[in-house]
Copies of this chain bind each other. A is one copy, B any other.
Amino acid sequence: MKQSSGGVTAAKGFRAWGVHCGVKSHNVDKKDLAIILSERECNAAAVYTMNRVKAAPIYVTMDHLEDGTAWGIIANSGNANACCPLSHENAELMCQYAAAATGRKPGDFVVASTGVIGQTLNVAAIEKGVPEVVAGLTADGSDAAAHAIMTTDTSKKEIAVSLTVGGKNVTIGAIAKGSGMIHPNMGTMLCFITTDCAITHEMLSEALHETVPKTFNRVTVDGDTSTNDMCVVLANGMAENPQIEWKDDNYTVFQKALRHVCEYLARCIAGDGEGASRLITCTVRSARSEESAERLAKAVVGSPLVKAAMFGSDANWGRVLCAMGYSKAPFRPEYVDVKFASDVGEVLVCQQGMGLDFDEEAAKSILSQDEVIIDIDLHEGQDTATCWGCDLTYDYVKINGDYRT
């Protein structure tokens, strides 16, 4: 497997584009409408938010993917198209516009929205914008599409990898958006993945459902699970590899590459959390089970007090232990070692549940890097899990104190 360029249009037969159509009415410079389209019908699989309040595009997409196939994706940013009388109708209209401009059927499209909840979507702007996006569709369009799905994200998120499946060169590419309202329970963000791999709908769905819990669902920015989260993968088979129909070696290679793609984007989303100044990676090792390791790591990266301490580069490991303590996962506090690490070094701050004397200056320098690792050893078992988050900063409060207006 090796990294390649081109994002969501890297795989054979996929084109994309993004424009400003007017959903983000105050920001004419910011793109707000994207389409991704395959030349051939794709097998498709998706994972959706677990929030009981689901936005209309989620229901419409569920409906459109019921047959396990799709041709493309239409997505807007700037408005979540949720909790309004016309939300469902507008989500259907988006697919109709995309279908009319591409000569396909509305049911061939996945539809996704992200932005403020409860305000009526400017669907007329989308109607006007769709032909422009379709006219622009190109195999170099990943960058434009990646920008068009951003809200408070500060950087676009895309990746592509190539691998060999059954002797053929296969590519997986993706774009994603994250930022606020980010918390495990399905992806809590938008992620669109395309591949030219030949793989059945069942195996594609299996691979995605294996991958999401260990990647996107291990990210937390603020503990708020959005109403609009969606992770979709489209596979058009144009790599002409022998179709993956079972959990054989080819499946394993594909799933591993898919996990790499999702983990890369999960880390991007965590590190670009609203207001974040750094990525926080917490690994819990030597746990009784992967589940308890995950629960502990998630509690640590989710703790507002840990997050604020990380913002201040403060080696306040007591808060790490405290967060583990209320996670409801079983562990023995008196066995726990805690280490802070980053590019410039590492420092053991707690051993067997007790504080150690350590060099505060060295710790400060370690905690001032772009990625900080909180490494916890439980000394109890064999299992490990890693979760990702970010620090809590003034800018998070600023961004969210007045997001609507």
Q: Which A residues have a C-beta under 8 Å from some C-beta of B?
A: 50-54, 80, 82-85, 116-120, 180-181, 183, 185, 222-227, 302-305, 308-309, 311-312, 314-319, 321-326, 330-331, 333, 350, 353-355, 360, 392-394, 396-405
Contacts and interface: CB of A to CB of B under 8 A. Distances in A.
Contacts of A226: 322
A314 B402 contact: yes
A355 B400 contact: no
A83 B355 contact: yes
9 contacts: A50-B326, A51-B326, A84-B354, A117-B316, A223-B302, A227-B325, A304-B400, A305-B400, A316-B404
B305 A51 contact: no
Given A322-B117, A326-B183, A354-B83, A224 B403 contact: no
Contact of A322 (B120, B227, B324): B227
Nearest to A302: B223
A316 B403 contact: yes
Contacts of A321: 53, 83, 117-118, 227
A83 B326 contact: no
A319 B227 CA distance: 9
Given A85-B354, A350-B118, A394-B397, A322 B402 contact: no
B401 A308 contact: yes
A400 B304 CA distance: 9
Nearest to A308: B400
B308 A116 contact: no
Nearest to A331: B52
B80 A318 contact: yes
Contacts of A402: 309, 312, 314
Nearest to A322: B227
Contact of A51 (B53, B83, B227, B325): B325
Contacts of A404: 309, 314-316
Contacts of A84: 354-355
Contacts of A185: 326
A317 to B, nearest CB: 6
A355 B55 CA distance: 13
A117 B321 CA distance: 9
A319 B52 contact: no
Contact of A225 (B53, B119, B326): B326
A397 B400 contact: no
Given A51-B325, A333-B53, A396 B117 contact: no
A50 B325 CA distance: 8
Given A227-B318, A309-B404, 10 more contacts: A51-B326, A181-B305, A223-B223, A223-B302, A224-B303, A224-B326, A226-B322, A304-B400, A311-B397, A314-B402
A287 to B, nearest CB: 14
Contacts of A120: 355
A291 B299 CA distance: 23
A318 B312 CA distance: 31
Contacts of A312: 400-403
Given A304-B400, A326-B52, A326-B224, A405 B314 contact: yes
Nearest to A349: B118
